[in-house]
């Protein structure tokens, strides 16, 4: 007898699965344990411009000014965090409390984002990028950001699950995960320019349909700084041409390879393309 989809056991399995996914995401990008200091500095310097966070009290953690709390009140709040140290001055304790409150806000934002990703894990069909979404990328930014993030992490998870990895493959996977962190952060914080989002979405669009030649062609355009639409889109009707001109302007060069962090995530995307193509070819050979 099968489980009813709303049964307690099924819900528990789904909950456990989502918990595992979140823990996996933390290992990739949450605490950045595998990122060297230069990458941490680069990521931390990026302003969090997340527009998906609703402007309500749920995410407003008041960071008190020094004069708003007396030392006793500061001590009480630090004790709530289990971070109280009697030897610190009031100034030091105040700075520590400010930091803890800011970390709370950051964690709440991260949790809110993961809550938005959960439906895309529960229903993999939601991960599929539609051509219309790419054409109207500016209007579909949030959905494309989530779809790209979830699918990229799914590829990494698939790579990690391979039981026959060589030492070289393990090292390549580790480097890929380190390189992709900045891209995952930019997608979450809405820091990726629209032209780069279009290019990345185009690559994923072809990967999801196993069109690896087109995915690689789109990647080559991305790597040299050209905005890469799905092949033929910019020649299909006035609507598509209008979307293209709004995003690219007079020049369709995005200077996307302008810094080292960007170069690393672009290379990581190429490695993920290669991995998906290799897995697909292996399956075809077995048929």
Give me the pLDDT at residue 269, please: 95
In degrees, to the nearest 5, what angle opens at C-alpha 41 toward C-alphas 39 and 45? 120
Residue where a domain stops, chosen among 72, 102, 122: 122
Same domain (yes/no): 86, 200: no
Domain assignment present for 244: yes
Residue 227, beta-bridge partner list: none
Domain assignment present for 35: no
Which positions ≥6 away from 192 have C-beta within 8 Å? 145, 183, 186, 200
Question: DSSP letters of 208-251?
Answer: HTT-HHHHHHHHHHHHTTB--PSTTGGGSHHHHHHHHHHHHTT-
Domain assignment present for 34: no
Q: With CA atoms as reference, report the closest residue to 197 among 151, 137, 153.
A: 137
Give me the pLDDT at residue 103, please: 87
Residue 226, beta-bridge partner list: 253
Give me the pLDDT at residue 134, please: 93
Q: Is the pTM of this model over 0.75?
A: no
Domain assignment present for 25: no
Residue where a domain stops, chosen among 104, 122, 140: 122
Structure tokens at 212: 């690896």
Rounded CA-CA distance 178/260 in Å is: 13
Structure tokens at 173: 């996977």
Give me the pLDDT at residue 150, please: 95
Q: With CA atoms as reference, report the closest residue to 129 among 148, 155, 154.
A: 148
Give me the pLDDT at residue 221, please: 85
Same domain (yes/no): 162, 112: no
CB neighbour class for 216 (10 Å; exposed up to 12, middle 13-18, buried from 19): middle
Same domain (yes/no): 56, 189: no
Which positions ≥6 away from 268 have C-beta within 8 Å? 175, 176, 177, 179, 180, 183
Same domain (yes/no): 60, 194: no
Same domain (yes/no): 182, 70: no
Rounded CA-CA distance 224/214 in Å is: 16
Give me the pLDDT at residue 11, please: 47
CATH number, position 234? 1.20.940.10
Range of the domain at 263: 124-287
Rounded CA-CA distance 40/35 in Å is: 6
Is 25 within 8 Å of 129 (Cβ atoms)? no
Same domain (yes/no): 98, 225: no
Give me the pLDDT at residue 205, please: 96
Same domain (yes/no): 118, 162: no
Give Cα 206 distance to the centre of its chain: 19
In degrees, to the nearest 5, what angle opens at C-alpha 112 toward C-alphas 259 and 161? 65
Give me the pLDDT at residue 94, please: 86
Rounded CA-CA distance 195/247 in Å is: 6
Same domain (yes/no): 85, 163: no
Rounded CA-CA distance 104/95 in Å is: 14
pLDDT digits (tens, 9 = 90+) for 102-138: 888 888 888 888 888 999 999 999 999 999 999 999 9
Domain count for the chain, please give it: 2
Same domain (yes/no): 75, 96: yes
Same domain (yes/no): 90, 62: yes
Is 43 within 8 Å of 107 (Cβ atoms)? no
Same domain (yes/no): 109, 134: no
For the chain (287 residues), the mean pLDDT of every run of 10, in chain order, is 46 54 58 36 33 37 59 86 86 87 85 88 94 92 95 95 87 94 93 91 95 93 77 51 47 56 92 95 86
């Amino acid at each position: 007898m099968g489980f009813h989809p709303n049964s307690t056991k099924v819900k528990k399995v789904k909950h456990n699965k989502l918990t595992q996914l979140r823990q996996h995401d933390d290992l990739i990008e949450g605490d950045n344990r595998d990122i060297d200091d230069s990458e941490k500095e680069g990521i931390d310097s990026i302003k969090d411009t997340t527009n998906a966070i609703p402007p309500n009290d749920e995410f407003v953690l008041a960071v008190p000014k020094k004069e708003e709390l007396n030392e006793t009140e500061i001590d009480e709040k630090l004790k709530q965090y289990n971070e109280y140290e009697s030897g610190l001055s009031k100034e030091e304790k105040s700075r520590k409390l400010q930091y803890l409150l800011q970390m709370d806000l950051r964690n709440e934002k991260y949790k809110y984002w993961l809550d938005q990703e959960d439906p895309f894990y529960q229903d993999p069909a939601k991960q599929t990028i539609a051509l219309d979404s790419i054409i109207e990328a500016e209007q579909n930014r949030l959905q494309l950001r989530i779809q790209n993030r979830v699918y990229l992490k799914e590829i990494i998870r698939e790579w990690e699950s391979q039981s026959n990895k060589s030492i070289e493959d393990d090292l390549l996977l580790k480097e890929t995960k380190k390189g992709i962190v900045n891209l995952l952060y930019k997608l979450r914080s809405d820091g990726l320019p629209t032209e780069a989002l279009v290019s990345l979405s185009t690559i994923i669009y072809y990967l999801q349909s196993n069109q690896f030649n087109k995915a690689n062609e789109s990647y080559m355009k991305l790597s040299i700084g050209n905005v890469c639409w799905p092949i033929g889109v910019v020649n299909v009707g006035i609507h598509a041409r209008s979307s293209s001109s709004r995003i690219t302007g007079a020049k369709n060069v995005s200077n996307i390879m302008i810094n080292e962090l960007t170069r690393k995530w672009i290379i990581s995307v190429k490695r993920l393309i290669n991995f998906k193509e290799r897995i697909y070819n292996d399956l075809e050979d077995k048929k």
